[in-house]
């Protein structure tokens, strides 16, 4: 598992982020305080406080470099 901080500061950023993570078979969790949300759930993401960076847990073993490259625009 790898954890990175991401910033989703607009509706368009959330939509493009969800489109990016759904291309991968790995599991992604967004952690904000005590809340853990599936990063592939657009409704779940909008339930979080998006005014500050959020932790993204990536549960992948082999294609982590491809995932990080695809998520580069959102990583803080």
CATH of the domain at 13: 3.30.1340.10
Sequence-separated (6 or more) residues with CB below 8 Å from residue 20: 70, 71, 74
- What is the domain extent for residue 66? 2-74
User: Is the predicted pLDDT of residue 62 greater than 90, yes or no?
Assistant: no
Length of the chain: 76
pTM for this predicted structure: 0.92
Whole-Å CA distances, 15 to 37, 41, 46, 60 = 15, 10, 10, 22
Domain count across the chain: 1
pLDDT per residue as tens digits for the range 12-38? 999 999 999 999 999 999 999 999 999
Lookup result for tokens 């005014």 = 51
């Amino acid at each position: 598992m790898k954890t990175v901080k991401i910033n989703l500061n607009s509706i368009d950023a959330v939509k493009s982020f969800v489109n990016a993570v759904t291309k991968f078979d790995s599991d992604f969790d967004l952690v904000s305080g005590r809340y853990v949300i599936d990063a592939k759930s657009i409704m779940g993401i909008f339930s979080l406080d998006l005014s500050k960076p959020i932790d993204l847990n990536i549960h992948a073993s082999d294609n982590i470099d491809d995932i990080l490259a695809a998520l580069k625009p959102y990583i803080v």
